[in-house]
């Protein structure tokens, strides 16, 4: 994990994270679901923080 972290920081490795929705609530869950359901999501969609 340390090696992966270093590579990401150096820009040699890129994450597929494209969307962060916070906090975790009904509205953001619905938004995330809509993105995935419509096929408009690219990369990973993350719901974070309660």
Q: Do residues 18 and 44 touch, judged by C-beta distance below 8 A?
A: yes
* pLDDT tens, position by position, 11-38: 999 888 889 999 999 999 999 999 999 9
Cα separation, 11 vs 2, whole angstroms: 14
Full residue range of the structural domain in which residue 37 is found: 16-50
Is 2 inside a domain boundary? no
* Domain count of the fold of the chain: 1
Is 28 inside a domain boundary? yes
Is 1 inside a domain boundary? no
Is 44 inside a domain boundary? yes
Is 7 inside a domain boundary? no
Report pLDDT for 40: 80
C-alpha distances in Å from residue 21, one per residue of 4, 13, 14: 24, 23, 20
pTM: 0.66
């Amino acid at each position: 994990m340390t090696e992966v972290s270093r590579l990401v920081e150096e820009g040699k490795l890129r994450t597929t994270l494209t969307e962060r929705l916070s906090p975790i609530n009904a509205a953001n869950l619905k938004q995330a679901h809509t993105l995935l359901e419509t096929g408009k999501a690219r990369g990973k969609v993350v719901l974070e923080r309660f």
